[in-house]
A and B are shown apart, each in its own frame.
Chain A
């Protein structure tokens, strides 16, 4: 009995020892030399694996940083400048502070209540709804309101406004990773520079229809009249394909275009309220035909959270 146990222990012990020796040499032979710096860099990254940098995850981003030796063309959007500085310190290189960005919604709410032209009851997915029809508001370019961007945001920065039918970005939480931009089948969401004091101006419409058709579709649509283009002192605004676009790298947020826009398609964020107060009068005076529909449009800029 005792002898049996003893034999078993010895046999297993010997087998174990042999394997240990073999494994030791195999491990030496196939050793993967990995830069310990990768671990260190990965440590300082946010670890959300959002994929906003274009890499498979934070670890892959760290590998790319170490392999390159500097941060040229590599940027962790959620981490921002703080993380970039830490990574640069580890890599021993200098990094320029990038312009902080934020996601903005380039569609003004139009799917409100009685303005719905249809009642969608299919799968709640913008990508799918986009393949079926134009959307409940009838616009083939604007927000479908099924919330693919809400689902895509790993930071909980996007919520769907039930009254407006369009998403709202919480700029405190938004890390500009770009996941929502990729998720949106109609490119309604765009990453734009946050701007000085977080004040920024953009065109809240991407409808490429001709002016009259666009207005028929949506009361808030840009009609491509070009007034904003003329008034811009820095040539940041251009009308292309019946819709204006403000180049956020050139824009100085003077808001001349916003005051000039006859349809109130240009929106701003974080400007002090008093300046805005005179604005609702201007578009309302130009569009007396449908005052009831215009009221929410004119009011939005002054709410200051139209992003």
Chain B
């Protein structure tokens, strides 16, 4: 069975919410839609206070190159166009909408029928992705229309669909595959057409036998979709590792997947693409896992963007348990702790993970004993212990020479370190400093 060549670790899987069927999250009284829910510049608000909006109406327009449209997830009245503190406390431009009913724009096809035929040309598909504000739902929220607009002189040979879900706890991709296999396959076919590649590979780790069976059975009905079961290893869901696992190719330092002829999209993105292209539905909902070992119940929800973390917690589990240590957005390896639970969720949110204090607390740091475990664990072939000392002593030039910018921040080094050194933190800081240094040089 295939997997990537270098490094990797095996964190406890904890996929305890994998059997929870996707439920619909009810609408709150007010939603807050952030204008930068994607990588790049924030969208420009095109509605004003007092405007009536309907579900799926454009409210934030992408004016910069690296930007994505934002649509209203609810119907109602715009309460204000102001700033809102995001999950980490920083003020970001946002639109506040008071919810009134659930009135969708007419163009969205809300019938449950599955629409299989797609007669659009590749250029039209990309334009549609841009119009519907589709971004990558694997975590980085890279605008899809930029990814699928392959630059001249480069050619895509492989389309890889990332259904690995290698992060512990997360099960949203698992559930989407179980419940929307056909839609995903149609979405993948659309993306395959947009790129003009013969085959699309769906990579799934073999700790998910049910989705593998469902997807394999479904893919038989479609031309050029190959389901590729992969050996379980973290971080297989990282773009470069997944390319290595499936194609055997290696993305060189400082290059993009397209440079080795690959385009990688998340399985959730494929589902969103189906809804956008076939049903005209903009990206206003995503699948979100609410999980945690000590929670009374586990859930997977279809959530409109702009609903706050507090609303989600209130609806799913009522109240946070007494000894909650951290609420994490994303998985335990790469996710970030949410500081402000009043913040709205965004397009890229994949989970609300509640950890109790003992699970969340970091063990005290001791000295590096040069055991080299971090070097063995690093999937990018870097030397985390070295960066640790270089960054501490502000030797930023050397850190750059040793390719610190190749780090994908997967957290394998910190996970494997017997001295509990915050290696990933140090490397992140080093990357920031290297980028600042390079910007200053320009």
Contact = CB atoms under 8 A, between A and B. Distances in A.
A134 B422 contact: no
Interface in A84-120: 117-118
B428 A128 contact: yes
B361 interface: yes
B329 to A, nearest CB: 12
A134 B343 CA distance: 13
Nearest to B430: A128
B336 A132 contact: yes
A131 B339 contact: no
Interface in A117-139: 117-118, 121-123, 125, 127-128, 131-135, 138
A140 B90 contact: yes
A209 interface: yes
B89 A138 contact: yes
B429 A123 contact: yes
A118 B426 CA distance: 21
A125 B361 contact: no
A118 B339 contact: yes
B362 interface: yes
Contacts of A123: 422, 425-426, 429
B91 A140 contact: yes
Contacts of A135: 89
- Binding site secondary structure of chain A: loop
B88 interface: yes
Interface in B407-442: 422, 425-426, 428-429, 432-433
Given A121-B362, A140-B89, A209-B91, A128 B425 contact: yes
Interface residues of B, number: 18
B343 to A, nearest CB: 11
A14 B284 CA distance: 89
B429 A127 contact: yes
A11 B337 CA distance: 76
A132 B88 contact: yes
B432 A127 contact: yes
B91 A133 contact: no
A128 B431 CA distance: 10
Nearest to A137: B89
Contacts of A121: 361-362
Interface string B296-340: 000000000000000000000000000000000000000011011
A193 to B, nearest CB: 29
Contacts of B90: 133-134, 140
A288 B321 CA distance: 34
A183 B85 CA distance: 26
Interface string B358-378: 000110000000000000000
Most chain B CB neighbours (cut-off 10 Å) among A117, A132, A140: A132
Contacts of A127: 429, 432-433
Given A117-B339, A131-B432, A122 B89 contact: no
A242 to B, nearest CB: 12
Given A127-B433, A134-B339, A138-B339, 17 more contacts: A121-B361, A123-B422, A123-B425, A125-B429, A128-B425, A128-B428, A128-B432, A131-B429, A132-B88, A132-B336, A133-B90, A134-B89, A138-B89, A138-B340, A140-B89, A209-B91, A213-B91
Q: Which 4 A-B pairs have the closest CB atoms?
A: A134-B89, A123-B425, A133-B88, A123-B422
6 contacts: A125-B429, A127-B433, A128-B428, A131-B429, A132-B88, A213-B91
Interface of B: 85, 88-91, 336-337, 339-340, 361-362, 422, 425-426, 428-429, 432-433
